[in-house]
Chain A
Amino acid sequence: MTAHDFEDLLRELTPQVLAALVHRHGQFDACEDAVQEALSDAVRQWPVDGVPDNPRSWLLTAAGRSLVDAWRSDSARRRREVMVAALETSAEVAGQDDTVLLLFLCCHPALSPPSQLALTLRAAGGLTTAEIATAFLVPEATMAQRISRAKQRIRTAGARFELPPEAERPERLGVVLHVLYLMFNEGYTASSGPELSRADLTAEAIRLTRVLRQLLPGECEVAGLLALMLLTDARRPARTDSAGAIVPLAGQRRDLWDAVMIAEGVALVERTLGTGPIGPYQLQAAIAAVHDEALTADATDWPQILALYDVLVQVAPGPVVTLSRAVAVAAVHGPRAGLAVLGTLAGDDRIMLGHRLEAVRAHLLEQAGDLVAARETYSRAARMTASLPEQRYLTLRAAGLST
């Protein structure tokens, strides 16, 4: 078993073992600590002694023991619970279904999105605090604090380890999907720092969404989100050149795109669209599919993309959708028409979009032949971004227009 398989196995088992423990004892925070202990035992022992025959029950036993130790040192009052825990650790581990309950718990609305993300990565994803800290470029102590506060907050909010009531379920599922989407984006476009993508986060987001899709096969938006991630991540190898510089979609070498991921994503979109209520993830996946299916940038079916954006602005209006739609409008009706769409954005939205708005505006101005304004706008966008690769790209675009 390679180190990679080994990690995969642990990540797959983590939510199952944690869910089983929480199911039995409640006390999400104590159980989560115990599972982390068990994971570090596994990381230490398995490479030496070999992977046990039943790794799940091994982890469950180790976590149960660690829970008992924690309680024992906690106080003698808990003696009875200790007995119960010790007796029950050999019982059967809960099935994968509990992973959904865990995701609902980690994405509890009482938590801020960064806390939801961190907790999901640790409790459902089985990443260590150190790995999560590295992924978010913060010190490990900061991340440990964030996770422990999140767990406290879940306890004080009185959250229960069960499916939310029927009436709340669509909204709660929406939060889970949003957290997975954020996790993917955080990995795909690192919000700061020198590296443009952090593959570990995107891989984890895809893996968890895949699990969710298996458990909730009838939910169209889950399928839509998975398809969107696959169709987007498929372009990763072409997004940067050998020097690490950004390559925009139109200039990417399409032979570098991952054909297997594209095929899976396209099939998912085709199988899902029209079988249930349409949502923003399905629409974005459909748009990504149209891009990915074009053999060259010029062959892109822009009228179809624009039609999909026209639906998306109805279903899920927002400044980012308006911005993307402006690009499609420009491709179909010309750059001036695209610029006119940008002109409809309200002041608050402009501030929220920041350098992204200026970058799109600069591209459209360049297409419209207004090179002086384009150059100035690229420079402004470069001054506004906090991403080094984006800053390099925008600076070079500006310099390329100065003659």
Chain B
Amino acid sequence: MKYMIMMFGGIGTTLENRTPDWITGMQDHMMKLDQELRDSGELVASSKLIDPSQAKTVRFQNGVPVPTDGPFAEIKESLAGYWIIDATEERALEVAARVVEYTEFPMEVRQVMHL
């Protein structure tokens, strides 16, 4: 099974009032986890997205699609990055838990549908 593990928020909200040590620690933590998923061959894809404050949303207004500045969701609910891993749900939840343990921010785990 493939699962997408999603992080939300932007660096503005996630890293506000953190110390440099906390930030460095989080980056190390994430990089180690990322490397572990690569080495084990579980990683299918992963990307970080630019801060949601830079997002544009295309809306249907007065019968035409119109691009506007800003994300669709609240910044703290906006997608920040994801991993897709090929593993059991139990393993996907474990990976998410290891991030949440450090950041204390929630993460979402969803199965990727088959074609």
Contact = CB atoms under 8 A, between A and B. Distances in A.
Interface stretch (A170-178, A223-231, A303-311, A377-385): A377-385
A399 B12 contact: no
Contacts of A383: 10-12, 51, 53-54
Given A379-B12, A391-B11, A399-B18, A384 B23 contact: no
B40 interface: no
Interface string B20-35: 1011100110000000
Interface string B34-50: 00000000000000101
Interface string A365-394: 000000000000001001111101001100
B15 interface: yes
A396 B54 contact: no
A322 B78 CA distance: 36
B62 interface: no
B48 A399 contact: no
Interface size class of B (residues with CB under 8 A): 10 to 19
A388 B49 CA distance: 10
Contact of A396 (B12, B24, B48, B51): B24
A383 B23 CA distance: 15
Interface size class of A (residues with CB under 8 A): 10 to 19
Given A383-B11, A402-B17, A392 B53 contact: no
B19 interface: yes
Contact of A399 (B19, B28, B50, B53): B19
B11 A395 contact: yes
With most chain B CB atoms within 10 A of its CB, the pick from A386, A399, A400 is: A399
Contacts of A379: 11-12
Contacts of B48: 388
Interface string B67-87: 000000000000000000000
Nearest to A354: B54
Interface string B83-109: 000000000000000000000000000
A195 to B, nearest CB: 13
A41 to B, nearest CB: 33
Contacts of B22: 399
A396 B17 CA distance: 11
A322 B70 CA distance: 30
A242 to B, nearest CB: 12
A396 B23 contact: yes
Nearest to A244: B31
Nearest to B22: A399
Contacts of B18: 399
A384 B51 contact: yes
B13 to A, nearest CB: 10
Given A388-B48, A395-B23, A396-B24, A382 B11 contact: yes
B50 A400 contact: no
Given A391-B11, A395-B11, A386 B23 contact: no
A399 B25 CA distance: 13
A357 to B, nearest CB: 15
A396 B20 contact: yes
Contacts of A385: 50
Contact of B15 (A243, A386, A388, A395): A395
A402 B19 CA distance: 8
Given A383-B51, A399-B15, 7 more contacts: A243-B28, A382-B11, A384-B51, A386-B50, A392-B23, A395-B15, A395-B23
Counting from the closest, the 7 A-B pairs by CB-CB distance are A383-B51, A399-B20, A386-B50, A400-B20, A383-B53, A399-B23, A396-B20
24 contacts: A243-B28, A379-B11, A379-B12, A382-B11, A383-B10, A383-B11, A383-B51, A383-B53, A384-B51, A384-B54, A385-B50, A386-B50, A391-B11, A392-B23, A392-B27, A395-B11, A395-B15, A395-B23, A396-B20, A396-B23, A396-B24, A399-B19, A399-B23, A402-B19
